[in-house]
Amino acid sequence: MIKYVIKRILLLIPVIIGVSFIVFGLLELSPGDPARNILGTNASPQEVEALREEMGLNDPFLVRYGRFLSDLVLHGDLGDSYISKTPVVDEIAGRAGYTFKLAVLATAVAILVGIPSGIISAVKQYSLFDNITTILALLGICMPVFWLGLLLILLFSVNLGWLPSSGFDTLEQMILPSLALGAQSISVLTRMTRSSMLEVIRQDYIRTVRAKGQKEKVVVLRHALGNALIPILTTIGTQFGQLLGGAVMTEVIFSIPGVGRLMVDSIKMRDTPMVLGCILFVAVAFAIVNLIVDLLYSFVDPRIKSQFQ
């Protein structure tokens, strides 16, 4: 298993290089001038050109990318922000906690709501509960995060005044962002759990367990759910990685000072080192989550352990 983990970690290197090259190229093609954004609209062309030369922005694209990549690989340095002049790593480290907390809470909401709903829908297939859950799940999948977030703010903050519309430091402030971000994951997890459970509970061994007189709760939770967990775990891991990236709009709407909001502000200012740092943070976190999910498979199904040798 250790060899498998080391192999997966080494595979992160080409992923980081590929993601950084694509983002670097897209920022190069996007309109705007970082030097002009720093100096403001009143700066003279000579001042802008002098700053561009000082920052190395006049160097060819491959030279600037090679300089960035060498600093990253050799020194683990993402550079300094064009705007704040502070190290990118320090900026991201100060905000990563908010993004992780938001993604974890949204995932927890999805698990607590999605898995039980999927199990009940599978056990009571074609019932009223199953039909209502299916409709709500389809609506949740189709509903954009920013639209749902605005609706939640309008209802619970503006009209009812029950919950705050911004911040992420108290329990009350965490409720609306977690619901807004986790809604789509609830829908996806509900559908996946239902589908996986339906496939398992139709197997012969489930009928055998029932024939032995086991209680239905034991049959569903111990025998059926245990064997349906692998696709559910895959969905949870994938959704958590997507929530890290999807937190961008949620953090902007609810004024959460996380990595997503930092990335949006940096894109507006053409702060290339900061944008690269934020995207690489999400990419690496997504890869690590997928690795953890793969390792969890061996605990759910011991037969998979042989694949990690």
Average pLDDT over the chain, rounded to an integer: 84
Residue 15: give the domain boundaries.
2-75
Residue 167 pLDDT level (bands cut at 50, 70, 90): confident
User: Tens digit of pLDDT for each residue in 61-98?
Assistant: 888 888 888 888 777 788 888 888 888 888 998 888 89
Same domain, 125 and 69: no
Per-range mean pLDDT, top range of 201-205, 206-210, 277-281, 283-287: 277-281
Residue 288 pLDDT greater than 60, yes or no? yes
Same domain, 183 and 39: no
Q: Is residue 93 part of a domain?
A: no
User: Tens digit of pLDDT for each residue in 200-221?
Assistant: 888 888 888 888 887 878 788 8
How many residues belong to the chain? 309
Sequence-separated (6 or more) residues with CB below 8 Å from residue 147: none
Q: Is residue 58 part of a domain?
A: yes
Residue 233 pLDDT level (bands cut at 50, 70, 90): confident
Q: For residue 50, what are its two tokens?
A: 């002098």
User: Tens digit of pLDDT for each residue in 240-275?
Assistant: 888 887 788 888 889 888 888 888 888 888 888 888
Q: What is the identity of the amino acid at 230?
A: I
Same domain, 123 and 251: yes
CATH number at residue 176: 1.10.3720.10
Q: What is the number of domains present in the chain?
A: 2
Q: How far is CA 119 from CA 87, 122, 191, 238, 239, in A?
A: 47, 5, 10, 20, 19
d(CA 293, CA 286): 11
How far from each other are the two terminal CA atoms of the chain, in whole angstroms? 6
Q: Is residue 158 part of a domain?
A: yes
Residue 194 pLDDT greater than 80, yes or no? yes
- Average of per-residue pLDDT across 43-56: 82
